[in-house]
């Protein structure tokens, strides 16, 4: 069978609307599409979830993708139930029966009454029990006093698990009865709405585009537990991990798990294969995103010289992260790219505390004018709470960072009181709440503290730690392979004969890659020989996520980089309206993106900073952004013709931008002299000394 393109896992809930703020014990939907996880979706009620799932199904159908849609409640009941309720042993007769009776809205539903109505179809007391309502529901016992109803307590599959609840219990921690009664009507509607395109496992063959499958997060519990250590909401971890587990299963393992005989009872997918599921869910197993599309570098045809902006927009739109995701302890996260946004596990500060050393009291207990308050024995210090409530009309010695005990909402600075005789005296007029920090005034629990694509700074790690996070999901570091091409190149230290030059680009590009925070892979020099270059590119595609070559990127006889990339059919010559710059050859070599940079060192550096750098940000999972430029007065004079954007080697002195004395594109000394670039606009311009110009310090690219 074909593997699924998209896996979505739903953690259902039978309760009422849970409000706008993501919380546990609500509905959560985890998703992995083409091997890439997305942040779990929080759904506040079933109507919203049903709408979301319908939209998801439609999106997948129109994109021609196959969807695995898992739900964490039983699709069937113990054998004999369908016959007893609906007169047929067909499980869908129960789905129809329930859909006709369940009334559901975000504020209330009639699941307990429907459970009682079902009980009336069976002899004795039960099979459903537990009434979560204040009012009695005739026919639905509050406690388990069931007997004589004739139904098995568990389905076959539940007999083989530990911790799975029987479907008869309508409430209490872990119970699943209410979820079945509120869930199956929704599934039944999806089934009718998308009939030919949707199958229900294991009752129907899984050949349709969409398959509904019963799953159970309990099967990967150890992995969920470990993930919870990094904070976040358990339900969100469950659906996220289960989605990636199903998505990461080898096709034959998935096929084996789905190879279950259709029964009236249904089955929990993966039961008996827990090890395989857990392995597939494991955080440490990096999940690799899909490769880039073959035409990702194809610029629109017919444009002679592409403006810089268009070239950049093309890169932004057509590239996506190519590196996998791993979860690491904070200590290993500096300078890494955050793979998904993360939320505070705890508020900061977690409880109200004092911002100064002083005396705390209840503002309410103050009279007007100057104050005298008796001190109680003891004190509150950071990490050493007072431990009981402060009686009204008293004051307590408090030290910076101490949690405010009950009865304290205001603190007076120790410098502002006179102390004596077991009392403090101070002037009136202090404001309520003075010198205190409110719980959560900095960050509330559940707030997104860091967003996806951020390169983690020391302060970010402080914030993550302060809000209770021990580990963060980060991208693997982008590996950048560097290759120099040209018969004329020699290694520094070697003999160099006439016509030979020492390689300047490799040290330049290797160290730029490191400055950008990537892993630089040195693939050496290659002569202008197609087969030798082919072998090095092969190596690059294995050892790196992106390859930067310099030289041989034009269309001449010895331009083997473009010739080889052309062979793959995924190459594009980029003629960008930029100076300095020569054609760039962009392509894929065995799915690995290749930037064929000009050989000329000045052009190689400018093209790397202006084009390869933002492209690599995208590949590395970083947020796309332009380098921060500053506007400064020019210390030079320069006229330029319209048509090309121009970058000049420049540096700031006395607050003004100077430019290098020569624009010669082979002048490596100018690169070394410069501390940044002046960016002159595409159009015609005459710069006079003192005119404002855009200056991009090299540090803006790092
Ligand atoms: P190409 O793009 O191969 O035609 O090279 C353009 C110019 O850049 C030629 O003058 C090359 O010798 C020079 N060049 C190419 N690669 C390097 C390198 N790695 N270091 C210094 N100069 C180079
Ligand atoms: Mg060359």
**486 close to ligand 1 (CB < 6 Angstrom):** yes
Quote the pLDDT of residue 287. Answer: 62
pTM (two decimals): 0.63
Residue 31 has pLDDT above 80, yes or no: yes
Q: Is the domain of 554 the same as that of 461?
A: no
**Residue 303 in domain:** no
What sign does the CA torsion over 146, 148, 149, 154 have? positive
Quote the pLDDT of residue 308. Answer: 94
Calculate mean pLDDT across residues 512-537. Answer: 96
Q: Is the domain of 508 the same as that of 606?
A: yes
Q: Is the domain of 595 the same as that of 546?
A: yes
CA distances 3 to 33, 60, 245, 272, 613, Å, are 12, 14, 13, 20, 35
d(CA 385, CA 378): 10
Q: Is the domain of 464 the same as that of 516?
A: no
Paired tokens of 44: 């506040």
Residue 2 has pLDDT above 90, yes or no: no
**Residue 201 in domain:** yes
**Residue 581 in domain:** yes
Atom of ligand 1 nearest to the CA of 553: 2
Please state the φ and ψ torsions of residue 99, each to the nearest 5 degrees: -60, -35
Residue 39 confidence class, pLDDT cut points 50, 70, 90: confident
Å from CA of 631 to ligand 2 middle: 37
Beta strands 436-437 and 395-398, pairing class: unpaired
Paired tokens of 494: 């070697």
Å from CA of 552 to ligand 2 middle: 5
Residue 376 has pLDDT above 80, yes or no: yes
- State which of 485, 486, 506 you would mutate to test the pocket of ligand 1, scoring each by most atoms of that ligand within 8 A of its C-beta: 486
Calculate mean pLDDT across residues 679-698. Answer: 97
Q: Is the domain of 59 the same as that of 202?
A: yes
Quote the pLDDT of residue 1. Answer: 44
Q: Is the domain of 607 the same as that of 484?
A: yes
Final residue in a domain of this structure, among 619, 646, 668: 619
Enclosing domain of residue 536: 479-619
CATH number assigned to the domain comprising residue 615: 3.40.980.10
Question: Which residues have CB less than 5 Å away from ligand 2 (the ion)?
Answer: 486, 551-552, 599
Q: Is the domain of 470 the same as that of 484?
A: no
CATH number assigned to the domain comprising residue 669: 2.40.340.10
Q: Is the domain of 373 the same as that of 403?
A: yes
Residue 425 confidence class, pLDDT cut points 50, 70, 90: very high
Higher pLDDT, 508 or 285: 508
Beta strands 645-653 and 638-640, pairing class: unpaired
Q: Is the domain of 496 the same as that of 590?
A: yes
CA distances 670 to 602, 674, 694, Å, are 8, 6, 19
In the predicted model, what is the mean pLDDT of the chain?
Answer: 93
CATH number assigned to the domain comprising residue 429: 2.170.190.11
Q: Is the domain of 471 the same as that of 483?
A: no
Q: Which of 615, 616, 601, 609 is nearest to 700 (CA)?
A: 609
Q: Is the domain of 406 the same as that of 492?
A: no
**Residue 294 in domain:** no
Domain count for the chain? 6
Quote the pLDDT of residue 437. Answer: 96
Å from CA of 497 to ligand 2 middle: 17
d(CA 170, CA 174): 10
Calculate mean pLDDT across residues 179-192. Answer: 97
Final residue in a domain of this structure, among 385, 413, 437: 437
Lowest mean pLDDT among 38-42, 254-258, 431-435, 449-453: 38-42
Å from CA of 553 to ligand 2 middle: 8
Q: Is the domain of 613 the same as that of 694?
A: no
């Amino acid at each position: 069978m074909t593997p699924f393109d998209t896996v979505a896992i739903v953690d259902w809930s039978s309760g009422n609307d849970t409000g706008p703020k993501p919380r546990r014990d609500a509905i959560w939907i985890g998703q992995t599409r083409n091997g890439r996880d997305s942040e779990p979706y929080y759904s506040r009620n079933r109507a919203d979830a049903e709408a979301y799932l319908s939209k998801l199904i439609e999106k997948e159908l129109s994109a021609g993708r196959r969807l695995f849609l898992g739900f964490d409640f039983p699709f069937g009941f113990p054998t004999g139930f369908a016959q007893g309720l609906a007169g047929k042993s067909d499980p869908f007769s129960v789905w129809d029966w329930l859909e006709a009776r369940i009334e559901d809205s975000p504020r209330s539903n009639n699941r307990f009454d429907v459970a009682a109505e079902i009980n009336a179809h069976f002899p004795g007391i039960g099979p459903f029990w537990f009434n979560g309502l204040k009012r009695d529901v005739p026919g639905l016992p509050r406690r388990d006093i069931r007997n004589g109803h004739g139904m098995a307590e568990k389905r076959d599959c539940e007999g083989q698990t530990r911790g799975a609840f029987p479907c008869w219990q309508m409430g209490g921690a872990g119970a699943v009865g209410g979820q079945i009664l509120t869930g199956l009507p929704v599934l039944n509607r999806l089934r009718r709405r998308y009939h030919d395109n949707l199958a229900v496992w294991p009752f129907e063959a899984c050949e349709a585009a969409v398959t509904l499958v019963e799953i159970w997060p309990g099967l990967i519990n150890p992995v969920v537990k470990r993930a919870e250590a990094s904070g976040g909401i358990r339900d969100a971890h469950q659906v996220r991990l289960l989605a990636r587990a199903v998505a990461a299963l080898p096709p034959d393992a998935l096929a084996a798990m789905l190879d279950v005989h259709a029964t009236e009872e249904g089955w929990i997918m993966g039961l008996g294969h827990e090890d395989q599921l857990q392995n597939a869910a494991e955080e440490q197993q990096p999940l690799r995103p899909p490769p880039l599309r073959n035409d990702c570098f194809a610029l629109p045809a017919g444009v002679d010289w592409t403006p810089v902006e268009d070239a950049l927009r093309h890169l932004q739109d057509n590239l996506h992260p190519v590196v996998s995701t791993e979860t690491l302890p904070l200590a290993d996260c500096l300078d890494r790219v955050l793979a998904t946004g993360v939320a505070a596990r705890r508020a900061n500060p977690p409880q109200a505390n004092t911002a100064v050393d002083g005396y705390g009291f209840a503002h309410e207990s103050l009279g007007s004018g100057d104050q005298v308050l008796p001190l109680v024995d003891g004190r509150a210090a950071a990490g050493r709470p007072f431990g009981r409530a402060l009686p009204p009309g008293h004051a307590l010695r408090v030290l910076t960072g101490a949690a405010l005990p009950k009865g304290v909402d205001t603190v007076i600075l120790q410098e502002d009181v006179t102390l004596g005789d077991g009392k403090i005296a101070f002037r009136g007029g202090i404001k309520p709440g003075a010198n205190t920090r409110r719980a959560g005034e900095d960050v509330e629990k559940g707030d997104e503290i860091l967003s996806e694509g951020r390169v983690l700074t020391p302060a970010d790690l402080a914030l993550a730690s302060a809000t209770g996070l021990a580990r963060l999901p980060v991208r693997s570091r982008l590996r950048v392979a560097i290759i120099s091409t040209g018969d004329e190149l020699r290694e520094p230290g070697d003999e160099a004969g006439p016509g030979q030059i020492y390689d300047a680009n490799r040290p330049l590009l290797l160290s730029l890659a490191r400055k950008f925070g990537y892993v630089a892979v040195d693939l050496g020099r290659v002569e202008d020989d197609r087969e030798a270059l082919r072998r090095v590119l092969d190596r690059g595609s294995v050892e790196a996520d992106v390859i930067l070559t310099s030289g041989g990127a034009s269309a001449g006889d010895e331009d083997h980089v473009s010739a080889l990339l052309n062979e793959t059919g995924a190459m594009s010559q980029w003629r960008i309206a930029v100076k300095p710059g020569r054609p760039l050859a962009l392509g894929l070599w065995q799915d690995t993106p290749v930037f064929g940079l000009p050989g000329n060192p000045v052009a190689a550096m400018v093209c790397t900073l202006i084009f390869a750098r933002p492209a690599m940000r995208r590949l590395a999972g970083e947020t796309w952004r332009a380098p921060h430029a500053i506007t400064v007065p020019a210390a030079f004079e320069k006229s330029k013709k319209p048509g090309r954007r121009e970058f000049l080697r420049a540096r700031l002195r006395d607050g003004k931008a100077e430019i290098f004395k020569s624009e010669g594109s082979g002048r490596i000394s100018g690169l070394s002299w410069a501390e940044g670039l002046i960016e002159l606009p595409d159009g015609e311009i005459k710069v006079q000394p003192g005119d404002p110009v855009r200056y991009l310090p090299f540090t803006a690219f790092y």
